[in-house]
């Protein structure tokens, strides 16, 4: 499990996250949603050990998150972070050399499913196809925790839905937890078990998707809008 206990992160005078208490259970698909600047990416970087909290603690399993958690956390950033002169096949070679849990065949299968040419240099790919490559190498890791930060950004709406649905076939939810941030809320809602709503670096709510629908008779987008408008929804 992943736990953030009273976590704050400050950059100079600005607090990116503030007194954040969140618990992510095992074996679930969990969405982290909120407007731009709500703290989603900062939360992910804290979990991945790329940032240290100003206050509080981030636990992955029972260990404090630091760079060593990369052995158990597969993190896909919302920005491009790879050697641009690589092609997708070379990036797969690189990931295989770095992570003992990397499944080369799974990576190739995902690239094939997403219709990406493994021989074309990454710097020549469209934004959407670069995102597909990043998803392929991240999902190909058999890590207990997978973090996808805005994985569907730049994807054509005509293919986005099929790719969203296809992601789940590459997960083993008996052993893995997927935490995902995205603005494509309507498209990922059918996949989600739980959701965490952030606003201005704080947690507005965390809930079970089925209970939200049952108790409030509304979809996830409407529930989030009501929260943002200040209604107390439990």
pLDDT of 50-70, one tens digit each? 999 999 999 998 888 998 999
CA 180 to chain centre: 3
pLDDT by residue (tens digit) across 84-96?
788 999 999 999 9
> What is the Cα–Cα distance from 234 to 227, expressed in whole angstroms?
10
Assess contact for 25 and 196: CB atoms under 8 A.
Answer: no
Strand order in the sheet with 63-64: 14-24, 2-11, 55-60, 63-64
Q: Where are the beta strands (DSSP E) in the chain?
A: 2-11, 14-24, 29-33, 55-60, 63-64, 73-76, 145-149, 177-181, 194-199, 202-208
> What is the Cα–Cα distance from 10 to 16, expressed in whole angstroms?
6
Fold of 2-228: Rossmann fold (3.40.50)
Output the pLDDT for position 208: 92
Residue 66, token pair as written in the block: 């630091």
Output the pLDDT for position 53: 94
Contacts of 230 (CB under 8 A, 6+ apart): none
Ranges of each domain in the chain: 2-228
Output the pLDDT for position 3: 94
pLDDT by residue (tens digit) across 158-214?
777 778 877 888 889 889 999 999 888 888 888 899 999 999 999 999 999 999 888
Three-state secondary structure call for residue 149:
strand
């Amino acid at each position: 499990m992943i736990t953030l206990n009273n976590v704050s992160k400050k950059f100079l005078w600005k607090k990116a996250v503030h007194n954040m208490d969140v618990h992510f259970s095992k074996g679930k698909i969990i969405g982290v949603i909120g407007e731009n600047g709500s703290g989603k990416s900062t939360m992910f970087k804290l979990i991945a050990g790329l940032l240290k909290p100003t206050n509080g603690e981030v636990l992955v399993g029972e260990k404090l998150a630091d760079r060593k958690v990369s052995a158990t956390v597969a993190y896909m950033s919302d920005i491009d972070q790879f050697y641009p002169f690589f092609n997708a096949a070379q990036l797969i070679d690189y990931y295989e050399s770095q992570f003992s849990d990397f499944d080369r065949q799974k990576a190739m299968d995902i690239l094939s499913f997403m219709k990406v040419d493994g021989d074309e240099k990454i710097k020549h790919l469209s934004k959407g196809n670069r995102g597909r490559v990043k998803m392929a190498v991240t999902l190909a890791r058999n890590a207990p925790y997978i973090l996808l930060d805005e994985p569907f950004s730049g994807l054509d709406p005509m293919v986005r839905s099929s790719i969203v649905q296809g992601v789940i076939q590459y997960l083993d939810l008996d052993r893995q937890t997927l935490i995902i941030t995205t603005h494509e809320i309507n498209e990922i809602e059918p996949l989600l078990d739980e959701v965490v709503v952030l606003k201005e670096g704080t947690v507005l709510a965390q809930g079970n998707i089925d209970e939200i629908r049952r108790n409030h008779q509304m979809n996830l987008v409407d529930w989030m809008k009501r929260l943002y408008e200040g209604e107390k929804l439990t």
